[in-house]
Amino acid sequence: MKTASVPCGAILAIKTETTLPAPLCFFRLHPPDQAEWLCPNRAIRRGALAEMAEQTAGSRLVLIAPGEKVTLRPVSLPSRKRSTWTRAIPYALEDQVVEDIEALHFALGDKPDGDRLPVAIVHRDVLRGWLDTCAQAGLALTAIVPEPLLLPWQEGDWSILLDEQRAVARIGRWDGFAAERDLLDLLLNRAMAEAGDAKPRRLRVWGHPPPALTEVGLESRIEDSAPEPLHVFASAYPALVAINLLQGPYSPQASWGPRLRPWRAAAALAGAWLLVQGLGLAHEHWSLRREQTALRATMEQVYKDAVPGTTRIVNPRVQLETRLRELRPASASGSTFLELLYQGGQPLSSFPAVTLRSLGYRDGQLDLDLESGNSAVLDQLRRKLDQQPGLRVEMRATQREGRVEGKITLKRTPS
């Protein structure tokens, strides 16, 4: 029975409240246009690149570079200035490579390992071929990492992956190789002899059987007798211990250069237009500031003419308004209110049985809302108020629920 394939990208397409980074997808190229890739659910697919592009949409793609095509060379630091490494490293390795250094691409590690700098070397034509193949299939790569640096590694161990007719070895944090299985024993024994004091204590092997080594006392440990290489590579991918070959002219940022080149003329015209607009706005702003300065000088002169003898001017408009308010005659309204309040309050203080509920003042008239238990008390209060000179008294009283409520209006009598 034929089962329908599930797109790798669809496995993590469920939306969550928090934004998660796109999943990683590791893959290897198989000429002419085939590939094998690892889905986020750890399922391995094999097929055409076009099929892979469809199934891995939305994933970050990591191309596993064949170890036979990449040379790993940890070298002594040429200087302490990182800005010089890119130019100095090719010449430092010129005697150790066969090809012309102009034909090679040198990718550097993120940081030195002690006094040595990790370097991966690949032929430019080979790297360009991988990039063109992926571009034709619509694959945008996040990284290209050499096979040996994707094997698990820890201090004192060497790692070996036996993959069909090939073998991949990691013999250091930044060192390793790939070769045919028939050559593995020879290459490992030679590396062991060259290691000196850096010889491993243990050999970790994925696959079977383990290589035959002349070194006595070296422990060999089978991690998995029938491994899936992509699972092994993906399990050991940390960003800080791998070299990404996509650097310099091959970095994702550099790839935008050719795409933007046709738009340079339009961008230049847009920049010139913005410059002209900016100059126009600057001239307008300068003109307004000049007018504002002239207006302020005129206002200060007006204030000096209106208020002779002024020595300190901070804000002429506000100072002039304040001066005018000081010159206006005071209103009689405030004094009338105080007089009525005094004349009404004096008699009211003699009647503790009368409660003042509220008072109001408007247009020379003071209204008092009172409450008492006896209407006779309110009458006595009214007579007391009538005795005040220059005061006219009006009172209305009502009885409600055993209490007497009265409203007294006080006005000044015409003189």
Residue ranges covered by each domain of the chain: 1-147+236-257, 152-229, 333-412
**Helical pair 264-306 and 316-327, crossing angle rounded to 10 deg:** 30
* pLDDT reading at 1 higher than 50: no
Taking the C-alpha atoms of residue 53 and residue 229, their distance in angstroms, rounded to an integer, is 21
Tens of pLDDT, residue by residue over 165-177, are 899 999 998 999 9
Which of 1-15, 189-203, 296-310 reaches the highest mean pLDDT? 189-203
In order of 157, 326, 336, 362, the CA distances from 218 in angstroms are 10, 104, 113, 109
Burial environment of residue 104 by CB neighbours within 10 A (0 to 12, 13 to 18, 19 or more): buried
* pLDDT reading at 328 higher than 70: no
Tens of pLDDT, residue by residue over 47-101, are 999 999 999 988 999 999 999 999 998 888 877 777 788 888 888 888 888 889 8
pLDDT of residue 14: 39
The CATH H-level superfamily of 152-229 is GspL cytoplasmic domain, C-terminal subdomain (3.30.420.370)
Question: For 1-147+236-257, which CATH class?
Answer: alpha beta
The four Cα atoms 28, 34, 40, 42 give a dihedral, to 10 degrees, of -80
Element (H, E) at 136: helix 124-136
The CATH H-level superfamily of 333-412 is General secretion pathway protein M, EpsM (3.30.1360.100)
Same fold across 1-147+236-257 and 333-412: no
Average pLDDT over residues 133-155: 92
